[in-house]
Amino acid sequence: MARDIDVATKDPPTVCIVENDASLRRGLVRLVRGHRLTVEAFAWPGQVLRRLQAGQLHCAVLVLDIHLGKMSGFDLHDRLTQMGLSIPTIFMTGRDDTTSRERVRRLCAKAYLVKPFEDAALIGAIRMALKETR
């Protein structure tokens, strides 16, 4: 049974972003911080995975690119599930396709955003995920 993340333990909750494009990652961090949310950003899935495994990180919401190289966003999500973590996830992609869209739906992700997306779409999805987890 997956354990839910207790977002009440962090004030404000931490939004974890995994995006391998440095420019986009910096922009996402600025956007989310601009809405008075705490952000931890990572270039590669292994970085966030190691921090979570070590208990050094608490993610209230995970904003995750699907296409990250060796370990995909889907792979990271699967590993977190195997660890017993249930973190509300927002998937992003630059390549919209039916297979990915369907997989995201089956995973019960909070949102599926196709790049480029409106800032309001991401912030709205994050706020909705945070509200649902409280």
Q: Give 112's contacts (C-beta < 8 A, 6+ positions apart).
A: 90, 91, 93, 100, 101, 104, 105
Please report, to the nearest 10 degrees, the dihedral formed by the alpha carbons of residues 130, 133, 48, 39 taken in order.
20
Spans of the chain below 70 pLDDT: 1-11
What are the sequence ranges of the domains in the chain?
3-133
pTM, 2 dp: 0.89
Task: Render pLDDT for 57-79 as a digit per residue (tens, 0 to 9).
Answer: 999 999 999 999 899 999 999 99
- Domain 3-133: top CATH class: alpha beta
